[in-house]
Chain A
Amino acid sequence: MSKVYKSLFVAAMVSAGAVSTQKAVAQSQTAAGSGLPAKNMIGSFTSVRPTGQTGTVVIPAETHTFQLLAKSGTTAYTTGATGIMPGNNDFTAFVGKNGSSKEGYLAINHENNPGGVSILDLHLDEASNQWVVDAVRKVDFTPLVKTDRNCSGGITPWGTVITTEESYNTGDANGDGYQDVGWQVEIDPVSGKIVDYDGDGQPDKLWALGRMNHENIAISQDRVTVYQAEDGGSSGVYKFIANQPGNLSEGTLYVLKRSSTDPTTGEWVQVPNTTQADRNNTRTLAPAVGGTNWSSPEDVEFGPDGKMYFTSKGTGTIWRFKDEGMTVSEIEAWVTRQQFEVNYGEGTQLEDWGTGIDNLTFDGEGNLWALQDGGRNNLWVVRPDHTPATPHLDLFMTTPRGSESTGLTFSPDFKYGFVSLQHPSAANTTVVTDASGQDVIFNNSATIVFARKQFLGKQSETTAQAQAAAQMLEVYPNPFQTSTKVKVTLPAQAPVVLEVHDMQGNVIQTLFNGSMPAGAHTFNLSPAAGAGNAMYLVRLQVNNQKATTRILQTNK
Chain B
Amino acid sequence: MALCRSLFPVLNQKKFTMKRFIIIGLWIILLGLLQQVAAQARLLTEAELAAASIYDNVTEALQEKEQVYRLNIRQQNYYSFTPDLCELVNLQFINAMKNKITTISPEVARLQHLQEVTFRENELVELPAAFYELKHLQQIDFGHNHFTELNAGFGKLRKLRVLQLDENKIRSVSPAVKHMKGLHALNLNYNHLEVLPAEIGKLKHLQTLALSHNHLRELPASMANMKELQTLALDFNQLTALPEQMGKLPSLQALLLGHNQLRTIPEQLTKLSSLQLLDLSSNQLTTLPANLQHLTSLRTLLLAGNNFPDAEKERIRKALPQAFIQF
Contacts and interface: CB of A to CB of B under 8 A. Distances in A.
Nearest to B255: A277
Contact of A274 (B212, B230, B299, B326): B299
Contacts of B139: 171
Given A88-B75, A281-B254, A288 B53 contact: no
B293 interface: no
Interface in B259-291: 276-277, 279, 281-282
A281 B324 CA distance: 15
B304 A288 contact: yes
B92 interface: no
Interface stretch (A61-69, A79-87, A126-134): A79-87
B21 to A, nearest CB: 34
Contacts of B212: 284
B168 interface: no
B74 A278 contact: no
Interface in A76-131: 82-84, 86-88, 112-113
Contacts of B95: 112-113
Given A87-B74, A280-B231, A170 B279 contact: no
Nearest to A443: B57
A285 interface: yes
Contacts of B75: 88, 423
Nearest to A287: B258
B248 interface: no
A402 B75 CA distance: 9
A86 B279 contact: no
A172 B97 contact: no
B57 A73 contact: yes
B164 A170 contact: yes
Given A170-B187, A277-B276, A426 B57 contact: yes
Nearest to A87: B56
Given A73-B57, A169-B141, A281 B256 contact: yes
A171 B185 contact: yes
Interface string B44-84: 00000011111011001000000000001011110000000
Contacts of B256: 281, 284
Given A280-B231, A284-B256, A288-B279, A179 B208 contact: yes
Interface residues of A, number: 37
Nearest to A141: B50
A285 B304 CA distance: 11
A425 B256 CA distance: 42
B122 interface: no
Contacts of A426: 57, 76
A554 to B, nearest CB: 12
B258 to A, nearest CB: 5
Interface in A129-187: 142, 169-173, 177, 179
A452 to B, nearest CB: 32
Given A86-B54, A86-B56, A288-B281, A275 B276 contact: yes
B29 to A, nearest CB: 28
B88 interface: no
Interface in A279-310: 280-281, 284-285, 288-290
A74 B210 CA distance: 40
B145 interface: no
Interface in B222-277: 230-231, 233, 235, 253-254, 256, 258, 276-277
B300 A272 contact: yes
Given A284-B212, A284-B258, A277 B162 contact: no
A423 B277 contact: no
Contact of B235 (A83, A179, A284, A423): A284
Given A284-B258, A288-B302, A171 B184 contact: yes
Contact of B74 (A84, A112, A270, A289): A112
B302 A289 contact: yes
Given A83-B53, A280-B231, A402-B77, A112 B72 contact: yes
A171 B51 contact: no
A176 B68 CA distance: 32
B277 A281 contact: yes
Nearest to B231: A280
Interface string B185-224: 1110000000000000000000110101000000000000
9 contacts: A73-B57, A84-B53, A112-B54, A177-B230, A270-B324, A281-B277, A288-B326, A423-B75, A426-B57
Interface of B: 50-54, 56-57, 60, 72, 74-77, 95, 97, 118, 139, 141, 143, 161-162, 164, 184-187, 207-208, 210, 212, 230-231, 233, 235, 253-254, 256, 258, 276-277, 279, 281-282, 299-300, 302, 304, 324, 326
- Which 8 pairs across A and B sit closest by C-beta, in order of nearness? A277-B277, A277-B276, A277-B254, A272-B300, A170-B185, A275-B276, A277-B253, A171-B162
Interface of A: 72-73, 82-84, 86-88, 112-113, 142, 169-173, 177, 179, 270, 272, 274-278, 280-281, 284-285, 288-290, 402, 423, 425-426, 444
